[in-house]
Amino acid sequence: MPKTKKKIELDKLSPDELLKYEVAAELGIFDKVMRDGWQSLTARETGRIGGLVAKKKKMQKDKER
């Protein structure tokens, strides 16, 4: 039995979740995520997203100081 895909409502995501989607868009894989889900990404793509999310969070934290 195939999994039912739930509709992603970008306006209802937490800031951390939204940041992941923004980074995916910057990397050009947003459409892939929306179509096939996060599980469709390669380890390299996932790592790249994680690295950029961490970098952006650090930058935001440094700005707040």
pLDDT in tens, 37-48: 999 999 999 999
| The pair of three-digit structure tokens given for residue 46, joined into one six-digit string | 């996932």
pLDDT at res. 2:
53
Mean pLDDT of the residues in the chain: 90
pTM beyond cutoff 0.75: yes
Rg of the chain on CA atoms, in Å: 13
Long-range contacts of 55-62 (CB under 8 A, 24+ apart): 56/19, 56/23, 57/19
pLDDT at res. 3:
57
Q: What is the mean pLDDT of residues 24-28?
A: 97
pLDDT at res. 1:
46
DSSP-assigned states of every residue in 1-65: -PPPPPPP-GGGS-HHHHHHHHHHHHTT-HHHHHHH-GGGS-HHHHHHHHHHHHHHHHHHHHHH-
